[in-house]
Amino acid sequence: MSRPEKRSFTIEGHRTSISLEAAFWEALKDVAKAKRMPVAQLVQEIDRERGDGGLSSAVRIWLLDHFRSGRSIEGAAGDVGTATQPAVGRPVRSSSPDDRGSA
């Protein structure tokens, strides 16, 4: 596992930074490219939808939800809000018996 890499962005006129592992940065870049927008714009849209949690966590959760919802990189061109609404700021719950800790 790689160490988190920190990058800075300007969101709504304020400088902020987020730390993500290399795999998350690559996924974020891939989705932004598929949506034909800069990474900074995608991060800004994720920021608008997040709850009270940190921005780095919100980005990770958004990416997880994006791909769990069955979207591929190629299918990323849809609205950011549709993938963000269900998960950002709330825990992801599984309905699979294998994921509930039963052994």
**Confidence (pTM):** 0.68
Higher pLDDT, 19 or 74: 19
Two tokens at 28?
């974020």
Query: What are the residue boundaries of the structural domains of the chain, listed by start?
Result: 5-89
What H or E segment, with its residue span, contains residue 6?
Answer: strand 5-11
pLDDT at 95: 40
Enter the CATH code of domain 5-89: 1.10.3990.20
Express each pLDDT in 19-28 by its tens digit: 999 999 999 9
CB 52 within 8 A of CB 89: yes
